[in-house]
Amino acid sequence: MAIRITTCTNAEAAAFLPRLAELRIAVFREYPYLYEGNMAYEMEYLHSFLHVRDVVLVVALDGDRVVGVSTGMPLSGQPLLVQQPWVTAGESISDIFYLSESVLQKEYRGQGIGVRFFEERENWARQLGFAHTAFCAVIRPQDDPWRPRDYVPLDAFWHHRGYRRKEGYICQMSWQMVYETEETEKSLQFWSKDLLLDKP
Ligand SMILES: CC(C)(COP(=O)(O)OP(=O)(O)OC[C@H]1O[C@@H](n2cnc3c(N)ncnc32)[C@H](O)[C@@H]1OP(=O)(O)O)[C@@H](O)C(=O)NCCC(=O)NCCS
């Protein structure tokens, strides 16, 4: 069956949040996030999607079943610790649309759904007048013993979508990894794209 992609915001998005939590727990358990899922954390995190203006959820459906979700919101709606590197660099926060996450069930990857996730969120940000989109990705050590042999980094995928590393733009987030006994702080590298230079 063909995959259907639908884009929605705040009120309509609410129905998809429990499924987004499930997908986040399942997909982010994989390398490189190794997230030890926690429903209490998920509910607190997902709460912002109901209250921040101009959020977007891009949902991939196989029949009635949600198989992937991608999200975004204005950077101004994110916690200060996420905004921090941009504030420190003197950037205008109000120009930046933050791409929060993309989580797609494994068996649906490599069919172009991830590309659509980027296109839909960028179109949304353009319509709202944002100049840039940005996201951050966890930094893992080069010689990471947890890295699976067959792991393919997403750097090339992001490059092909027009994203570049923002050197020195690093934020900190805390979560518990599968081999940890409590939450610890992780560093995440920002990537961004100039939407004005990249018109579809
Ligand atoms: C990130 C993620 C959503 C990407 O999803 P995906 O659907 O596998 O990605 P796509 O199939 O759209 O793109 C992958 C490549 O396959 C190509 N491709 C393969 N089949 C295709 C098809 N039928 N149509 C279009 N493109 C296709 C794409 O062009 C792309 O190649 P490129 O980068 O050289 O252009 C997915 O890997 C995922 O959920 N990963 C785990 C979670 C994660 O790390 N998320 C990112 C941090 S939040």
Q: What pLDDT, in 10s, does the model give residues 51-64?
A: 899 999 999 999 99
Quote the pTM value.
Answer: 0.95
Output the domain CATH number for residue 16. Answer: 3.40.630.30
Domain extent, residue 85, equals 3-141+152-194
Phi first, then psi: give them for residue 67, nearest 5 degrees. -110, -10
Question: Does the beta carbon of 159 sit less than 6 angstroms from any atom of ligand 1?
Answer: no
Question: Does the beta carbon of 111 sit less than 6 angstroms from any atom of ligand 1?
Answer: yes
User: Would residue 146 count as lying in a domain?
Assistant: no
Binned at pLDDT 50, 70 and 90, residue 48 comes out as confident
User: What's the number of domains the chain is made of?
Assistant: 1
More confident of the two residues 10 and 54 = 54
pLDDT at 41: 85
Question: Does the beta carbon of 146 sit less than 6 angstroms from any atom of ligand 1?
Answer: no
User: Would residue 120 count as lying in a domain?
Assistant: yes
Ligand 1, atom 46: nearest CA belongs to which residue?
A: 102
Rounded mean pLDDT, 31-49: 90
Ligand 1, atom 31: nearest CA belongs to which residue?
A: 157
User: Would residue 97 count as lying in a domain?
Assistant: yes
- The Å distance, Cα 31 to ligand 1 centre, comes to 16
Report the atom number in ligand 1 closest to the C-alpha of 159: 33
User: Would residue 65 count as lying in a domain?
Assistant: yes
Rounded mean pLDDT, 83-112: 97
Residue 92 and residue 102: Cα distance in Å, rounded?
Answer: 25
More confident of the two residues 181 and 1 = 181
User: Would residue 200 count as lying in a domain?
Assistant: no
- The Å distance, Cα 159 to ligand 1 centre, comes to 12
pLDDT at 43: 85
Question: Does the beta carbon of 47 sit less than 6 angstroms from any atom of ligand 1?
Answer: no
Question: Does the beta carbon of 26 sit less than 6 angstroms from any atom of ligand 1?
Answer: no
Q: What is the mean pLDDT of the chain?
A: 95
